Amino acid sequence: MDIKSITIFLFLPILLFSQSHSIIIDGNPSDWIGTPSSTIHGTTYSAGEWIYTGEANDMRTEPGLFWVKNEDITEVRFATDGTNFLGLIKVDNISAIDLGLYSIAINNGTGTINWIGDDTQSIFGNNIQQASIYFDIHFITRDGQNNLHIELNKGSGWYFASNNAAVNFSYAYNCIEFSIPLTELGLESNSNITLTFATFFKNEYTSPFVSNNEKDNTYDLLGSDAIDVMTPGAPESNILERENYLIYGVIQHFAQIDLSLAPLPVELVSFGGIFINNSIQLNWETATEVSNYGFEILRSSESEQWKKIGFIPGHGNSAYPNQYSFIDNNATIGEFSYQLNQIDLDGTSELSEIITIKAGELISSILLNQNYPNPFNPRTQISFAVKEKCNLKLVVYDLLGNEIANLFNGEVLPNKVYKAEFDGTNLSSGIYFYQLITPRKIEVKKMLLIK
């Protein structure tokens, strides 16, 4: 063996898209990286997220009627990873809640239900706000125990979400995160939906349990027990509008969300390589994938331009980590650069960062590889390298020792692989020898031409 193995591990966080990231349902909002609107009750799309900016400690109705300082909605975010509907809810003070109910109504074009919530009968302001499905996030902290779960309702009663749904919260960040499969909500990754979101007083338990409001304000607000409602596009000081849904139970505000504008695309979290067994093995991992057709593997070196050397199919849509690998058997000595070209199902593509891997070093003074292919007809390729800079010759002889061809005659650099092609078009079938001649050593190998 003329190669000394060199192992190089490169594990680099590489984003195939500038907006790419994954969401972990752990109650920590740091993996939501979009920039919210600076306008109170404003909305925006940013970094694959739909974001609503709420307000804390604002008045609920006209002064003198109620002064209810409670668990205000301060921020809401939605996104999709192609498989799941993801959400982030921030409130003013989650630690004050014993019984929390966060209710979301979605209309994907087939809405027939005209109320939102669990025990409430709060109604929508108009037909466009009718829902095709509801889901409630139940947040219960009492007696030192937490009870988080998600229930859904398509109009015929409540039922638990599947085990593929997830929900979590954090006191430190005053937020709740959730994930529900799109199929359970009757949605697709490009659905255009109408969405209403409100927090409610869940009147299932008696005092001292507190529901979505501070401990001294457990109001059941007449026709509605809504505590706060997401009001995109409302004026910043919308006291009278809030009176409508707090006192009269009519929810006036809703969001129009195009999920195709809120995707979390393919995220490549690691990309590295290792030189072993005379070849380079590439390894990479994705955290999430949306419409991922697959990866083209590209390679370049000092002696060749970028070219495609392989393809690995992707997983389409996936909310879970996936590992990939590719073995390059044609990398011998020298430095090789690699890049992934991630291709979407619609044909669009994006290049990863470039990694460079040193394949090996010579132990002996020269390396003369077996020609490939062998046997051959009529052409074959011969590769060689030297440990030190020198002048050398590569010559082909027949069985009688006659020189048939001079394939190389000149100076070469150390630890760099050179290739020469031999053409036997005008020769007879048989055994031929190729000889590498350097100042320090001469090496010979044989090859077979079969016509």
CA distance 242 to 219: 15
Residue 56 shares a structural domain with residue 172: yes
Query: Could you tell me if 408 and 293 lie in one domain?
Result: no
As a whole number, mean pLDDT of residues 420-426 equals 94
Residue 344 CA to residue 314 CA, distance in Å, equals 9
- 16: CB partners within 8 A, 6+ apart: 265, 266, 267, 268, 340, 342, 350, 351, 352
173 close to 27: Cβ distance less than 8 angstroms: yes
**What secondary structure letter does DSSP report for 244?**
H
Q: What is the pLDDT of residue 232?
A: 85
Q: Given a cut of 60, is residue 241 above it in pLDDT?
A: no
> 182, 180, 226: which is closest to 72 by C-alpha?
226
Indicate if 319 and 442 belong to the same structural domain.
no
pLDDT above 90: percentage of residues in the chain: 23
What predicted TM-score, i.e. pTM, was given to this entire model?
0.55
Torsions phi, psi for 154 (to 5 deg): -105, 15
Angle at 156 between CA 151 and CA 161, to 5 degrees: 20
- Chain segment 250-300, per-residue pLDDT in tens: 566 778 898 887 766 677 878 888 777 678 889 888 877 777 889 999 999
pLDDT for 210 beyond 80: no
Coil, strand or helix at 262: coil
User: Above 70 in pLDDT, residue 418?
Assistant: yes
- Tokens matching residue 305: 């331009």
On whether both 152 and 52 belong to a single domain, the answer is: yes
In a domain? residue 357 = yes
CATH number at residue 271: 2.60.40.10
Confidence of residue 125 (pLDDT cuts 50, 70, 90): low
Report which DSSP code applies to 92.
S
Question: Does the pLDDT at position 158 exceed 90?
Answer: no
In a domain, 22, yes or no: no
Q: CB-hemisphere CA count at 13 Å for 256?
A: 3
User: φ and ψ at 62, to 5 degrees?
Assistant: -60, 140
Residues in the chain: 451
pLDDT in tens, 244-254: 555 555 566 77
> 361, 383, 404: which is the final residue of a domain?
361
User: What per-residue confidence (pLDDT) applies to 78?
Assistant: 94
Q: Please determine, for residue 225, whether its predicted confidence score (pLDDT) is greater than 60.
A: no
Residue scoring higher pLDDT (229 or 236): 229
Tell me what pLDDT residue 23 has: 83
Residue 391 included in any domain: yes
Q: Three-state secondary structure along the chain?
A: CCEEECCCCCCCCECCCCCCCCCCCCCCHHHCCCCCCCCCCCEEEECCEEEEECCCCCCCCCCCCCCCCECCEEEEEEEECCCEEEEEEEECCHHHCCEEEEEEEEECCCCCECEECCCCCEEECCHHHCECEEEEEEEEEECCEEEEEEEEECCCCEEECCCCCEEEEECCCCEEEEEEEHHHHCCCCCCEEEEEEEEECCCCCCCCCCCCECCCCCCCCCCCCEEEECCCCCCCCCHHHHHHHHHCCEECCCEEEEHHHCECCCCEEEEEEEEECCEEEEEEEECCEEEEEEEEEEEEECCEEEEEEEEEEEEEEECCCEEEEEEECCCCCCEEEEEEEEEECCCCEEECCCEEEECEEECCCEEECCCECCCECCEEEEEEEECCCEEEEEEEECCCCCEEEEEEEEEECCCCCEEEEEECCCCCCEEEEEEEECCCCEEEEEEEECC
Residue 20 domain-assigned? no
| pLDDT recorded at residue 145 | 52
* Domain edge (last residue) among 344, 361, 378: 361
**What pLDDT is attached to residue 361?**
63
The answer to the question of residue 21 being in a domain is: no
Let me know whether 240 and 380 are in one domain.
Answer: no
State phi, psi for 377 to the nearest 5 degrees. -165, 115
- Give the chain's domain count: 3
Sign of CA dihedral 269, 274, 277, 280: positive
Same-domain check for residues 251 and 306 = no
- Residue 331 scores a pLDDT above 90: no
Q: Could you read off the pLDDT of 20-37 as tens digits, one per residue?
A: 456 888 889 988 988 899
What pLDDT does residue 411 have? Answer: 94
Which residues span the domain enclosing 444?
364-449
Q: Render pLDDT for 131-157 as a digit per residue (tens, 0 to 9).
A: 788 777 776 554 445 567 888 888 777
Lowest pLDDT segment from 116-120, 351-355, 367-371: 116-120
Q: Which residue has the tokens 């307000």?
A: 55
Beta strands 122-124; 250-251: pairing state: parallel
297, 308 contact by CB (below 8 A): yes
| Predicted pLDDT at 7 | 31
Residue 218 predicted with pLDDT over 50: no
- Predicted confidence (pLDDT) at residue 160 exceeds the cutoff of 90: no
> pLDDT tens for residues 170-209?
889 989 999 999 999 999 888 888 888 877 654 444 444 4
Min mean pLDDT across 1-10, 220-229, 264-273, 290-299 is at: 1-10
**368 in the same domain as 317:** no
**Rounded to whole angstroms, what are the CA distances from 207 to 66, 93, 261, 301?**
20, 19, 44, 73
Count the neighbouring beta carbons within 10 Å of the beta carbon of residue 357.
Answer: 24
pLDDT tens figures, 31-58 = 898 889 999 889 999 878 899 998 876 6
In this predicted structure, the answer to whether residue 18 has a pLDDT above a threshold of 60 is no
CATH code of the domain containing 395: 2.60.40.2550
* 348, 381: one domain: no
Look up the CATH number of the domain holding residue 68: 2.60.40
**Range 71-75 average pLDDT:** 81
Tokens 């604002």 correspond to: 58
Residues 357 and 369 in one domain: no
Boundary of a domain, candidates 261, 294, 314: 261
Mean pLDDT score of the chain, rounded to an integer?
76
